[in-house]
């Protein structure tokens, strides 16, 4: 079970690595609704590493704030790899952070379809050279899905730092 304690441990690990490397991070969240940014800034001293956070819950905000192409939203939907990657590219452009994290998904209890079930989440993490998208289908209620997404996003970023920076 994912709880705030597990999330905070991943956040602390991220904080330590990013502080050591003097890196900054920004987030663009849909299904997590600010939970990811909150987890990152939960630790003291986070103002040195957290640059900016966007909550782009609506399609309109994805277009206006992150320059997601409306045609991508029409063809593939907001909960898609292409949208998540466009959110990441827009975030890099708007913030010039070293690292980015984006989330989009269906936390439920409504909004699902046969092809896109409740719990379907895309997470993109990376830097200006490499953005990696990951698809998950989490089980649980709305809060469980948001917690699991937040935890997984932090874990993926920690793994990325270990692989490419440390």
Q: What does the chain look like in DSSP terms, one character per residue?
A: ---HHHHHHHHHHHHHHHHHHT--EEEEESTTTTHHHHHHHTSTTGGGTEEEEEE--SHHHHHHHH---HHHHHHH-SSSHHHHHHHHHHHHHHH--SEEEEEEE--SSS---SSS-TTEEEEEEE-SS-EEEEEEE--SSHHHHHHHHHHHHHHHHHHHHHHHT-
Contact 11, 39 (CB under 8 A): yes
Predicted confidence (pLDDT) per residue in 144-155, tens digit? 999 999 999 999
End-to-end CA distance of the chain: 29
Q: What is the mean pLDDT of the chain?
A: 97
* For residues 61-67, average pLDDT: 98
Residue 1 has pLDDT above 90, yes or no: no
Q: Give the pLDDT band of residue 131 (cuts 50, 70, 90).
A: very high
Predicted confidence (pLDDT) per residue in 7-31, tens digit? 999 999 999 999 999 999 999 999 9
Residue 28: predicted pLDDT: 98
Interior CA angle at 119 toward 106 and 73, to 5°? Answer: 35
Predicted confidence (pLDDT) per residue in 80-89, tens digit? 999 999 999 9
By C-alpha distance, which of 85, 79, 81, 152 is closest to 112?
79
Residue 86: predicted pLDDT: 98
* For residues 59-65, average pLDDT: 98
Lowest-pLDDT range, 8-17, 35-44, 45-54, 107-116?
Answer: 107-116
* For residues 84-104, average pLDDT: 97
Distance CA 87, CA 46 (A): 23
CA 55 to chain centre: 10
């Amino acid at each position: 079970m994912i709880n705030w304690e597990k999330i905070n441990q991943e956040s602390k690990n991220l904080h330590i690595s990013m502080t050591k490397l003097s890196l900054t991070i920004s987030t663009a969240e849909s299904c997590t609704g600010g939970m990811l940014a909150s987890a990152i800034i939960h630790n003291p001293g986070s103002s040195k590493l957290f640059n900016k956070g966007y909550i782009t819950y609506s399609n309109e905000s994805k277009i206006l704030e992150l320059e997601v192409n409306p045609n991508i939203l029409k063809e593939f939907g907001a909960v898609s790899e292409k949208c998540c990657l466009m959110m990441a590219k827009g975030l890099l452009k708007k913030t010039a952070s070293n690292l980015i994290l984006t989330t989009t998904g269906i936390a439920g209890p409504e909004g699902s379809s046969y092809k896109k079930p409740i719990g379907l989440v895309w997470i993109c993490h990376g830097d200006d050279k490499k953005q990696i998208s990951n698809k998950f289908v989490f089980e649980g209620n709305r809060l469980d899905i948001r917690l699991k997404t937040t935890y997984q996003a932090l874990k993926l970023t920690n793994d990325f730092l270990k692989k490419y920076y440390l």
